[in-house]
Homo-oligomer: A and B are copies of this chain.
Amino acid sequence: MSLDAILARIDAELETSLDRLMTFLRIPSISTDPAYKADCQSAADWLVAELASLGVEAEARPTPGHPMVVGHVGEGSPHVLFYGHYDVQPVDPLNLWNTPPFEPVIQDTPNGKVIRGRGTADDKGQLMTFVEACRAWKAVTGEWPCRVTFLFEGEEETGSPSLIPFLEANKEELSQPDIALICDTSRFDKDTPAIVTSLRGLVGEGIVITGPDRDLHSGYYGGAAINPARVLARIIAALHDDEGRVTVPGFYDGVPELTDEIRAQWDALGFDAEDFLAAVGLSVPAGETGRSVLEQVWSRPTCEVNGMSSGYTGDGFKTVLPSQASAKISFRLVGTQDPLAIRESFRKMVTEMLPADCKVAFHDHSASPASVMSTKNPVFEAARTALSDEWPREAAFIGGGGSIPIAGHFKEILGLDSMLIGFGLDDDALHSPNEKYDLESFHKGTRSWARVLDAISR
């Protein structure tokens, strides 16, 4: 049976697969920082060459931001669109990294070998599990399991500003596939693979509050002049009530309660909330009162402060009364919450809280609704069985706390359902210093894709 031969090939070629991944990881493709624009182009070009080596007709197509890599290959059914992203998060604070973020290394840890570096788990390592599965398939059979369209973007970490126009401009070409495969999620735990069937949406807002028209001496003006840092603190403090609920008017419109069926599935997972929190030094769930931790991170909307800055933040002390205070605030959305309505309501609330003499400027960073997948397409059950064959425990349909707006855009613009399969773990330190991807995630992830491709293309 050729699947066994393909899996054996994946095992035998692990070292050379890793070498390719390491090369990819060394490209510092930080999409949010204009200083790395050329590196994003390099990452796109590298992927084009990689696909070309597999016989895929691929190209890096320009956008107003970073390029989209598009490739087509193969015949037969189903026609899958595989999506991944080649951009990565910034690396600050750099001093907290134990190894240079763009010099990936394989390290031994008490939990096994890991690949350490920026982008290992999010998303280069994950993306390459699919590419390497295709490479093994092609090497063993000389063919492709089915028709495959590749779509790799370079702006996922900045809210995908070029994606919607690109999908719209290339709708005819990209709406041909039957289903999208997205590899940017995690296993449920070390033993349990997962297919994510819901994702939270995201609204990102930058706000800058200005009081006095210059920084002042807190001795000469303190007491009489409005302090924008205090104003910002009051606004942030007012965004949640004592029960941990978000106070933005209308925020909970469109937030569904869990169905009994999904609640039962999640209860059956045996999720250990204590371990989940303990892994990051915490012990008490900090979200809405009366909600389980799984609900808090999978099915409840949130409001978080992602950044905050005002006045003097260097060494020592400066008795300045700052002219400005700024924050980056994001909302995770569920169900049918409307990102644009929430943005508007948030801005109205902030504006109404401003005292005399203060101005506010808003900067929008993203706005995407939540995605809830229909699992009726038979590929979901086929993939669940295939994943269960590779891992110790049976695969589960789970919720996802993160935001992969692309799934919503695929549905809205291309009419495509998405199946989200990924192999990360909760301790991968995504977006943080010392990001890693377990060697097992990479190896068995590659094997998993071979099994899934085999199952769905039969």
Contact = CB atoms under 8 A, between A and B. Distances in A.
Nearest to A295: B223
Interface stretch (A170-178, A210-218, A373-381, A406-414): A210-218
Interface string A327-347: 110101000000000000000
A223 B325 contact: no
Which of A200, A233, A309, A327 has its CB near the most chain B CB atoms (within 10 A)? A233
24 contacts: A32-B317, A33-B314, A157-B318, A212-B281, A214-B280, A215-B431, A216-B280, A218-B302, A218-B332, A220-B297, A222-B304, A223-B287, A223-B297, A224-B273, A224-B293, A224-B296, A227-B304, A230-B237, A233-B235, A283-B356, A306-B321, A308-B310, A313-B328, A317-B330
Nearest to A300: B223
Given A218-B304, A230-B236, 20 more contacts: A33-B314, A157-B318, A158-B317, A200-B219, A212-B281, A216-B431, A222-B297, A223-B296, A225-B286, A227-B305, A229-B307, A230-B239, A284-B355, A284-B356, A286-B357, A305-B322, A306-B312, A313-B326, A319-B431, A320-B431
A315 interface: yes
A240 interface: yes
Contacts of A314: 32-33, 90, 92
Contacts of A263: none
A309 B306 contact: no
Interface of A: 32-34, 89-90, 92-93, 96, 157-159, 186, 200, 202, 204, 206, 211-227, 229-230, 232-240, 273, 276-277, 280-288, 293, 296-297, 300, 302, 304-322, 325-328, 330, 332, 355-357, 365-366, 400-403, 426, 429-434
